[in-house]
Structure 1
């Protein structure tokens, strides 16, 4: 094995131990979260077990850090986010973040229609925060029917029936944040979806810091 590679691998264990202790997580708790046995985690941190992708991936997801951070890879390469649109439910989602796990940011584009669409309310686990950039957004949330102009924001628990669309048939652009459950439903799984109350909130507010009732 190349000496430089050996040095990188030798540094993984101490880095993992330091990260776990900094987060205040015990080996038992980490084992429960990752599915990796305590003995394997202990040997990995002490350097008795070589780091492998199979071990590092669940650790990166648990700590919510890029894999490069765990192995101490240098910050090289193109820092730009390559925006590859995702088309779902007649809408377009443009990813604005690429960090593995945690809350994900997207620009959401609702196309113009000749006539406003009838709401088809869905539910799913998760939480969402949105901010209207252009157009007039119609947000139907349980028994609320709201129109949000540019500059307004809303946050809601998606376990309540909800629907997003154009209020007047025109195109709408918004920034939307999904927690992991919401992201999987909107971007990956074509399944029925459910928010607590939502209403306009301060755009400067923490996106998932509080829930309105």
Structure 2
């Protein structure tokens, strides 16, 4: 193997590792650029392979990402990709997490099962910060948004601002769906007694 081949593989490995570590930490290119004192456009070109790494970049990038230079250079271990969070039942809805706690654009995906007994909305529909999205897998979902009452069938998706008074439940049997909740929506759906 020639020295150039080794240089290329180290360069490629460090670029991938740099991006992976940055994303794991929820950092933007600007965050790393500021901490490493490297121009953001240079950092972007380093990550994309449009610019080669210089030796003086390594200690600054490692420090910006709170790792040692050795950790930045090492081959990353392949982590177990399975999501192992347990299900959680709240207000007759069971939630199975489909995403981990890492960066997912601030959204967390859940498979949900709404009990057939969840049929009566509260007297006052809740409102909270955020946005909800749901895709119905089976059953018929009742969705109340403000003054409107919708029946959502399997294969249909809905998205709505949670600033609108809202509630969802079952029409005539259990409902299974995939749901995306932002941080505020997740707190309300999984942890309060309003729903």
1:117 Cα deviation from its structure 2 partner: 1.6
Backbone CA RMSD of aligned residues: 4.0
Count of paired positions: 154
Structure 1, unpaired ranges of 5+: 1-10, 32-37, 57-67, 194-213
Contact 1:124/1:192 (<8 A) preserved: no
Partner of 1:171: 174
- The TM-score with structure 1 as length reference comes to 0.57
Contact 2:91/2:193 (<8 A) preserved: no
Hey, what's the Cα distance between the residues in 1 that align with 2:126 and 2:100?
A: 26
Contact 2:116/2:171 (<8 A) preserved: no
Contact 1:123/1:192 (<8 A) preserved: no
Contact 2:140/2:151 (<8 A) preserved: yes
Deviations 1:18-53 (Å, cap 9, x if unpaired)?
969xx9843xxx39xxxxxx5xx2379762696599
1:164 Cα deviation from its structure 2 partner: 0.6
Partner of 2:166: 162
1:176 Cα deviation from its structure 2 partner: 0.5
Where 2:180 maps in the other structure, the secondary structure is strand
- The TM-score with structure 2 as length reference comes to 0.61
Partner of 1:128: 132
Q: For 1:34-53, what aligned pairs fall within 5 Å after superposition?
A: 41-42=35-36, 47=59, 51=63
Where 2:168 maps in the other structure, the secondary structure is strand
Where 1:112 maps in the other structure, the secondary structure is coil
Q: For 1:65-144, what aligned pairs fall within 5 Å after superposition?
A: 73-76=76-79, 78-101=80-103, 102=105, 103-113=107-117, 116-119=119-122, 120-144=124-148
Where 2:127 maps in the other structure, the secondary structure is coil
Hey, what's the Cα distance between the residues in 1 that align with 2:61 and 2:111?
A: 42
